[in-house]
Amino acid sequence: MERAQYANCIEACNDCADACDFCAASCLHEKDVKMMARCIALDIDCAQVCRAAAALMARGSEAAATICAACADLCEMCAAECGSHQMDHCQQCAAACRLCAAECRAMADKPGDAVRDAASAPA
């Protein structure tokens, strides 16, 4: 699988990870940090999984489709949480998470994915 086929998804993952990092850091400066605990935790988890997904795609790993499906799930969770807060950083993070979830879902569900097919082929 050529890296170019993953380019949009890799970019969405990296952008999402950056948005999540910014959101988590910004949440730490909110007046009621305790109220933002779940948002911060999901931001951190999402950023890490997004970076892992981008790295696996960049390497053409046979696990790329699997990690992208998990990444999409986590991005959707993070988007729902961030979307429930009115701060600009949360709204921007939610938007980045929704885009990343869509890109990862499309990549993971792509029929004929050589990487995924190789992983599921009988030994």
Phi–psi pair at 56, nearest 5 degrees: -65, -40
Contact call for residues 3 and 91 (beta carbons, < 8 A): no
Confidence of residue 10 (pLDDT cuts 50, 70, 90): very high
Looking at residue 109, its pLDDT comes to 86
pTM of the model: 0.87
Measuring CA to CA, which residue among 108, 113, 106 is closest to residue 1? Answer: 113
Q: Percentage of residues in the chain with pLDDT exceeding 90?
A: 81
Token reading at 89: 């950083």
Cα(33)–Cα(50) distance, integer angstroms: 24
Alpha carbon distance, N-terminus to C-terminus of the chain: 20
Confidence of residue 45 (pLDDT cuts 50, 70, 90): very high
Looking at residue 5, its pLDDT comes to 77
Per the prediction, the chain carries an average pLDDT of 90
Contact call for residues 70 and 101 (beta carbons, < 8 A): no
pLDDT at 105 over 80: yes
Q: How many CB atoms lie within 10 A of CB 73?
A: 15
* pLDDT tens-digit readout, 84-95: 999 999 999 999
Residue range 3-110, CATH number: 1.20.1270.360
Helix (H) or strand (E) holding 58: helix 37-59
Phi–psi pair at 28, nearest 5 degrees: -65, -15
Determine the distance from the C-alpha atom of residue 20 to the mean position of all C-alpha atoms in its chain, rounded to a whole number: 9
